[in-house]
Amino acid sequence: MAFVSFFEVFLALLCFLFLYCFRNKHGPPMCFPIIGMMPELLLNVHRIYDWHTETLERCHCTFLFKGPWFAKMNAVVTCDPANVHYIMTCNFSNFPKGPEFKQKLDILGDGIFNSDLDLWKNQRTATHGFMRNPQFHKFLLKTTRDKVEKGLIRVLDHVADRGLMVDLEDVFQRFMFDSTCILFVGYDPRCLSVEFPEVRFSKALDEAQEAIFYRHVWPQSFLKLQRLLNIGQEKKYKKAWEVLDDTIATNISRRRKELKEGSVSEVGEDGVDLITSYITEEKSTGLECDDKFLRDTILNMMLAGRDTTSSALTWFMWLVSKHPTVENKIIEELESKIPAEETGKRRLFNADEVKDLVYLRGALCEALRLYPPVPFQHKEPLKPDMLPSGHPVGPNMRILFNLYSMGRMKWIWGEDCSEFKPERWINKQGGVKREPSYKFLSFNAGPRTCLGKGVAFYQMKTVASAIIYNYRIHVSKETPVVPTLSIILHTNNGLKTRISSRWD
């Protein structure tokens, strides 16, 4: 028995050494008969973002990944801005997300992230109209301000006064979960509190995202076997789906009841949430706002609101904590926006004060460049086409944009691409330097440019200014800060931090 175990270990080690020694160091991964490039992918799946970056560097930003025969895993992986511009803008109609994308993210239903063609256009038009409504903007300002003052500050003061270690990523997720629920559902779950209550919805969303990531790695046959046996990631995915559906259904039912009974107004004094707008303006949008539509819309918005912004804030605060010079420049810029007698004291910053913060915006953009909340995107051509890089593509072939790698390409961002330099985003006149969206893809590009970009920047600036101006952040050196395997770029172990007051 011991001999068998020793033999298995020896065989595994031999296979590893074989793959390591014979891997392609000057081009795409080594392609084997039948199994394609799967061995090297599986060998590097724990560090897939860096592996992609190293491979794309060798292959001049684009390579063809070949999966096992009959597994339908072949994909063009690219971070070439010319390819992105062509797909996202120049020939947009030929590159929808495709049925395979919707199959992998079927939990999102027919929401705006999954939909294509007319359904997507109608949803985007309606959502754009609601988000530009002065009532929604008014609601956004009040919600963010209240949640910072009555939620975030209280939690940070609590952990600072007691010298406690806190996971800042968890704090940001709770902040964004509460804020997004208020903005889109009109309900405050109050999970951002000193008690740190367990949030089933948030946990289910994390588990669903992890399972979706592995759907991009494993062959369909293996995933089908997991579903059939109800095991592994697919089992977690199914349970997460049930929790998300149950929570959202409860909120939809509650809101419909409140509107019917008149206990809430269709046009609130402080603004109006998105779900109320959809229900009350169904006829004007032309959309059938039944429970299924509302469920899909809410889940898509929750994913965008809670996860992407909290991820961006997490990586931003980590980078600032490592660069004291950047932190000091942000504080100087904040002080330049307020009267001299108010400097050196605790305070929060309002919408007008954070609106034109050039250096803070540059620091946020720099964090998004290095650590994009959505590290990769997926497209699928309708008709055969040729990319600017010279790679032919056709139906049933995936195209993966790697945003994480794009921010680390020297020929795109320069020799200092791996450095955190907010000055990269400031022009010679001291204003905001605009980079093309196909080069800086964190908010998407072309017709699918993110509708919530302005909302996200306002929320990030408000939170970042409140924390950096009023507190000192001490990130634990004992817990490594590395990306987790997910469709959203969370940290693997959280952002463990001690906080102290800056002005006391």
Q: Which helix (H) or strand (E) holds 65?
A: strand 62-65
Spacing of C-alpha 308 from chain mean position:
3
Q: What is the pLDDT of residue 488?
A: 92
Q: What is the pLDDT of residue 269?
A: 63
The whole-number average pLDDT for the span 402-409 is: 97
Helical residues (DSSP H) of 133-185, grouped into ranges = 134-147, 153-162, 168-185
Does pLDDT of 14 surpass 60? no
pLDDT band at 8 (very low <50, low <70, confident <90, very high): very low
Q: Which residues pair with 421 in a beta bridge?
A: none
Does pLDDT of 13 surpass 60? no
Using alpha carbons, select from 348, 291, 287, 359 the residue that is nearest to residue 325: 359
pLDDT band at 283 (very low <50, low <70, confident <90, very high): low
What is the C-alpha to C-alpha distance for residues 202 and 247, in angstroms, rounded to an integer?
Answer: 11
Q: What is the pLDDT of residue 271?
A: 67
The whole-number average pLDDT for the span 53-80 is: 93
Tell me the DSSP string of 433-475. PP--TTTS-TT--GGG--TTHHHHHHHHHHHHHHHHHHEEEEE
200-215 helix and 232-261 helix, angle to the nearest 10 degrees: 140
pLDDT in tens, 339-372: 988 888 899 999 999 999 999 999 999 999 999 9
pLDDT in tens, 409-442: 999 999 999 999 999 999 999 999 999 999 999 9
What is the C-alpha to C-alpha distance for residues 310 and 316, in angstroms, rounded to an integer?
Answer: 10
- Burial environment of residue 197 by CB neighbours within 10 A (0 to 12, 13 to 18, 19 or more): exposed
The whole-number average pLDDT for the span 42-59 is: 94
Q: Which of 197-201, 237-241, 475-479 reaches the highest mean pLDDT?
A: 237-241
Does pLDDT of 10 surpass 60? no
Helical residues (DSSP H) of 303-446, grouped into ranges = 309-322, 324-335, 351-355, 358-370, 403-406, 410-413
Helical residues (DSSP H) of 186-308, grouped into ranges = 200-215, 220-229, 232-261, 274-280, 282-285, 291-302
C-alpha distances (whole Å) from 366 to each of 146, 317, 423 are 28, 12, 9
User: What is the number of other CB atoms lying within 10 angstroms of the CB of residue 59?
Assistant: 19
Tell me what the pLDDT averaged over the chain comes to: 89
What contacts 71, CB < 8 A, 6 or more positions away? 36, 219, 220, 221
Q: What is the pLDDT of residue 227?
A: 93
What is the C-alpha to C-alpha distance for residues 390 and 382, in angstroms, rounded to an integer?
Answer: 18
pTM value is: 0.90
Q: What is the pLDDT of residue 135?
A: 84
pLDDT band at 73 (very low <50, low <70, confident <90, very high): confident
What is the C-alpha to C-alpha distance for residues 296 and 111, in angstroms, rounded to an integer?
Answer: 5
pLDDT in tens, 296-322: 988 998 888 888 999 999 999 999 999
Does pLDDT of 56 surpass 80? yes
Does pLDDT of 9 surpass 60? no
Greater pLDDT, 336 or 113: 336
453-470 helix and 309-322 helix, angle to the nearest 10 degrees: 40
What is the C-alpha to C-alpha distance for residues 315 and 93, in angstroms, rounded to an integer?
Answer: 34
User: CB of 148 within 8 A of CB of 466?
Assistant: yes
Does pLDDT of 80 surpass 90? yes
Total residue length of the chain: 504
Least confident of 7-11, 64-68, 149-153, 494-498: 7-11
What contacts 384, CB < 8 A, 6 or more positions away? 392, 393, 394, 395
pLDDT in tens, 89-134: 999 999 998 888 888 899 999 888 888 878 888 888 888 888 888 8
Does pLDDT of 255 surpass 90? no
Torsional class of 271: left (φ above 0), alpha (ψ -120 to 50), beta (otherwise): left
Q: What is the pLDDT of residue 503?
A: 86
The whole-number average pLDDT for the span 32-50 is: 93
Domains identified in the chain and CATH numbers: 25-501 (1.10.630.10)
